[in-house]
Amino acid sequence: MRKHIEGFIAQLEDAFSIGEKAQFSISKKKFNNVLILGVGGSGIGGTVVAKNALLKAGLPVMTCNDYNIPKYVDEKTLVIACSYSGNTEETLTALKKCQEKGSEIAAVTSGGELKRICVLNNYNHILIPGGNPPRTCLGYSLTEQLFILVKYDILPQSAIEELKLAIELLKINNFDIKKEAQLVAQNLFGKIPVIYSTDKFEPVSIRFRQQLNENSKELCWHQKFPELNHNEIVGWASGNSDLAVVIFRNDDDYYRTQERMEFMKNVILNKGSSVTEIHSKGTSFIEKALYLIHLTDWTSLYIAEKKEVDPVEIKVIDALKNHLSTLK
């Protein structure tokens, strides 16, 4: 796992090159919405991209992490299917339903059944290198989905330029990112992590939660401001010293949300739990998100090493897949 996280910046650069070279046959169809299909390590890239699109696109860009698709999907929906292996059953099931609705299909995969479907139907698709755990290939899935949205003119070309700047930001701050990640891991070790962010940066919280689940073998949860101030804040009345809170902060967080964060910090500290703040760097959403993601990916690895657990092992997921394979 260490080599995968260490190689994240190089992966982003390779993905950028692949995306630039990808040749698409673009439909003249006018789309009403976009739906991104994907689960797990193949789904998180779409979650980040969809949030980025919410800030930039002139139409809804939503994600689907299920077998079923929304009712609104039709021939004016652009569907992006992302499955690293190409064999993810939820994604393939949802894709079939989108095909039946006559949707425009594009895909990101390393091969498998999804590649076969794309080749058979002449769908636009981008092939990425295979053979790794899907969660280690966020750089590929996120980058290629951004390129697809730009090629279809859903996102402006500036989205690609921002990604390029994000890669440079990670290069410049790589040493400091790893150093801060070690401090965060030290604060979280032996505790149950609770992850807080704004709604805008919820994809970062989801990624961190997933990495703690899989790499660190930890249960944890996340919530977002301001929603948590209408429910979860009351739950802190009981207090719990086994909890350790992480708050993702950004210089452009809404001023009233920043005040909510400060108030919440005091509530948590008064109940005997710790609070660790992680401040993003960069100007655009994608710069800040990738900065925080890379830092917390390292954090999940450092916790795994402190616990002396294998960050790659996912035997229980493999067991579930084997069990499901017995069903018709």
The better pLDDT of the pair 32, 328 is held by 32
Residue range 176-307 in CATH 3.40.50.720: no
Q: What is the mean pLDDT of residues 269-295?
A: 97
In this prediction, residue 328 carries a pLDDT of 74
| 68-121 pLDDT, tens digit each | 999 999 999 999 999 999 999 999 999 999 999 999 999 999 999 999 999 999
Predicted confidence at residue 29, as pLDDT, reads 86
Residue pLDDT, tens place only, 21-73: 999 998 888 999 999 999 999 999 999 999 999 989 999 999 999 999 999 99
List % helix, strand, coil for the chain (3-state, nearest 5): 55, 15, 30
pLDDT of residue 27: 81
pLDDT at position 216 is 98
For the chain, the residue count is 328
Q: What does the block give as tokens for 165?
A: 């700047």
- The b-or-e profile of 165-185 (16+ CB within 10 A means b, else e) is ebbebbeebeeebbebbeebb
The H-or-E segment that residue 83 falls in is strand 77-83
> Does residue 321 carry a catalytic annotation?
yes
Q: Is 323 considered catalytic here?
A: no
Task: Return the H-helix or E-strand segment holding 216.
Answer: none
315 is catalytic: no
SS3 at position 239? coil
DSSP element (H, E) containing 62: strand 61-64
Residue 140 CA to residue 119 CA, distance in Å, equals 20
**DSSP code string of 147-167:** HHHHHTTSS-THHHHHHHHHH
Say if residue 12's pLDDT is above 90: yes
Residues 6+ apart with CB under 8 A from 298: 5, 177, 178, 181, 182, 185
Strand partners, 279: 249
CA triple 115-118-119, angle to 5 deg: 85
Residue 134 has pLDDT above 80, yes or no: yes
Domain spans of the chain? Answer: 2-156, 176-307
151 near 22, Cβ under 8 Å?
Answer: yes
Bridge partner list, 223: 196
The helix or strand, by DSSP H or E, that contains position 187, with its residue range, turns out to be helix 158-188
Q: Render pLDDT for 241-274 as a digit per residue (tens, 0 to 9).
A: 999 999 999 999 999 999 999 999 999 999 999 9
Cα gap 235→240, rounded to integer Å: 10
- Cβ contact 21:123 at 8 Å: no
Mean pLDDT to the nearest integer, 185-206: 98
Of the candidates 214, 218, 224, 294, the residue annotated as catalytic is 214
User: Does an H or E element contain 282, and which?
Assistant: none
Class of the domain covering 2-156: alpha beta
Residue 324's φ and ψ, nearest 5 degrees, are -65, -30
Residue of 230, 315, 323, 328 marked active site: 230
Which of 198, 223, 220 minimizes the C-alpha distance to 209?
220
CA 230/CA 39 separation, integer angstroms? 29
* Residue with tokens 């769908």, as numbered in its chain: 123
Residue 228 has pLDDT above 80, yes or no: yes
Domains 2-156 and 176-307 share a fold: yes
